Structure 1
């Protein structure tokens, strides 16, 4: 069609008009493309995959023992800060398997990068009072993963220690003494969806109780039972999956608690910016898990362009919230089960 237009009645005026039109299109496209640049406001950095537990549904399994050098970590974190990061969450694996490195990371992010929020998510078994007292000033939020207050259930899931509840209360008390926001993470699966956790949650009184629907991720927890038997690093979450109705049943039983926030699979899959041990972004959404190139190699924005991040779901689940420990803890509101979560914490 364009050839017909050019061949018939083509004049210098037509050429000028077409040139202006093309330039206009390029300017509009350029603005739109620039507007789509992702700002990594909140990042979850899983700097290790190693763990001392064997949670059957783990979606970030021990596929590698790699841990970046301190220099690489600092360079990556600085790149993220320059790209707009305001909050960092250190996770694993189990981050407290590396106490000195974790302390270094928290201090660097708070003192040198001056991030608004530094948080940690842990299974709690390796947390000590001495470490918290020494490094608490660099931490805004400390989250502990606990899926049941019944030890038999914890054993079935792979988190059993015999003293989960006792340790939870200890960590809660240490956080209170230092003004750190205490958070709880619970994954709901076939073993615990009927459990009534109201009384213990009220006693613990966490700043946030984040409730997740167990997530199936191809390439992470999709191994066959035989493979799991042969390798402690592999996981099979198929038998632990629950329906949306089962998840809602649990939510409806606990939604009246002031700290309760829920996250079904529809919000969880691609709404987190996850950085792995090689400082690559991971996309745990639909299909097989995808990995970007390292931000140390291609930079933050190029790496982000290589994965899908659902910014709408991030906002819908309340990815931005009062995440600094100097903010009043009673500012939260009760959350409902489903996609309307207003202030849900990041994991």
Structure 2
């Protein structure tokens, strides 16, 4: 298979879920300075064309079905289920489309989850969302309002995320769906690297706290050194029970990702920008995946280090 990096491991890890991350939009109500949600031709968002979206979902469900032994990933990994994770930009700028996609994915046998900045979650919407997803991930980078403003985590009206209100809503989501997991994502950068997230973690009580080092895919603005990143991790070692750390090397070529146009895309080590496949709904998932550069060994190792057999 062209451009498929297998790695050296011969034993196939078996995992519970294979996660497909679909970034449905580049649009966002925040303007984070290091945001990597910048794709070529992203204005042609598939999410606004239901016919093409259905075709994409059908292709993904069929190609990544555990029973599809012709999927090249089966050479390095085996899995029991597939989860479609919606991200952005901010996916909840399009709430009705999100609910429709999640319901369709379920009808095709996939599990579902979502990553959001949390600002568009309301009581009424949560009643519809919580039963459809197994995980809600929220991006929170700092406890300080001043730091969040400096990062760009503020909308055009100057509104910031209300952590206390969001924590209350997520607690409600857990009562609606007792199996729901809550995850926090934090990007360590030059503005928050000296901070302490303890009060935030205590407020949200997440099942998982994923900590990333700022990834210079689009820009090097606010990048931090390995030493600074490691100091942030050490400062929060008391949360190691829920902490999952990803430095830049781990994040390169090791996620299954779709862009807003329905193309597989990937960042490469030491390079800015992305490489893309052809649109999945146009050429089919098999052809798009074959034409795409993907490090299977790195991807498989992400699962083998997980405590529950799913990407954390």
TM-score range, shorter chain: 0.7 to 0.9
Consecutive unaligned residues in structure 2, runs of 5 or more: 1-16, 66-81
In structure 1, how many angstroms separate the alpha carbons of the residues matched to 2:160 and 2:60? Answer: 39
Instruction: Give the CA deviation at 1:170.
Output: 2.6
Instruction: Give the CA deviation at 1:67.
Output: 2.4
2:38 equivalent in structure 1 = 61
Q: Determine if contact 1:106/1:138 at 8 Å carries over to the other structure.
A: yes
Q: Determine if contact 1:262/1:344 at 8 Å carries over to the other structure.
A: no
SS in 2 for 1:240: coil
Q: How has the CA–CA distance of structure 1 residues 319 and 49 changed in structure 2, closer, same or farther, with 3 Å as cutoff?
A: farther
SS in 2 for 1:90: strand
Q: Determine if contact 1:107/1:135 at 8 Å carries over to the other structure.
A: no
Q: 1:283 aligns with which of 241, 263, 266?
A: 266
1:241 equivalent in structure 2 = 223
In structure 2, how many angstroms separate the alpha carbons of the residues matched to 1:126 and 1:171? Answer: 11
Q: Determine if contact 2:34/2:221 at 8 Å carries over to the other structure.
A: no
1:35 equivalent in structure 2 = none
Instruction: Give the CA deviation at 1:206.
Output: 0.3
CA deviations 1:296-340 (Å, max 9, x no partner) are 22221221122222222223233786xxxxxxxxx87xxxxxxxx
2:164 equivalent in structure 1 = 166
In structure 1, how many angstroms separate the alpha carbons of the residues matched to 2:274 and 2:192? Answer: 26
2:128 equivalent in structure 1 = 134
Q: How has the CA–CA distance of structure 1 residues 163 and 46 changed in structure 2, closer, same or farther, with 3 Å as cutoff?
A: closer
Alignment of 1:82-121 (within 5 A): 82-85=62-65, 86-110=82-106, 112-115=107-110, 117-121=111-115
In structure 2, how many angstroms separate the alpha carbons of the residues matched to 1:249 and 1:168? Answer: 28
Q: Determine if contact 2:19/2:310 at 8 Å carries over to the other structure.
A: no
Alignment of 1:1-347 (within 5 A): 41-61=18-38, 64-68=42-46, 69-85=49-65, 86-110=82-106, 112-115=107-110, 117-160=111-154, 161-178=159-176, 179=178, 180-217=180-217, 221-222=218-219, 238-257=220-239, 258-286=241-269, 287=271, 288-318=273-303, 345=312
Q: Determine if contact 2:212/2:247 at 8 Å carries over to the other structure.
A: yes
In structure 2, how many angstroms separate the alpha carbons of the residues matched to 1:282 and 1:87? Answer: 18
SS in 1 for 2:104: helix
Q: How has the CA–CA distance of structure 1 residues 129 and 144 changed in structure 2, closer, same or farther, with 3 Å as cutoff?
A: same
Higher share of residues assigned helix? 1
Consecutive unaligned residues in structure 1, runs of 5 or more: 1-39, 223-237, 322-330, 333-341
Q: Determine if contact 1:261/1:344 at 8 Å carries over to the other structure.
A: no
Output the TM-score relative to the length of structure 1. 0.72
In structure 2, how many angstroms separate the alpha carbons of the residues matched to 1:74 and 1:315? Answer: 28
Looking at both structures, which has the greater relative contact order when contacts are Cα pairs under 8 Å and sequence separation is at least 6? 2
Per mean C-alpha deviation after superposition, the further-off stretch among 201-210 and 169-178 is 169-178
SS in 1 for 2:182: strand
CA deviations 1:242-287 (Å, max 9, x no partner) are 1111111111122331211110001012111110111111111232
Higher-Rg member (1/2): 1
Q: Determine if contact 2:164/2:203 at 8 Å carries over to the other structure.
A: no
Instruction: Give the CA deviation at 1:343.
Output: 6.3
In structure 2, how many angstroms separate the alpha carbons of the residues matched to 1:174 and 1:305? Answer: 43
Higher share of residues assigned strand? 2
Per mean C-alpha deviation after superposition, the further-off stretch among 267-276 and 282-291 is 282-291
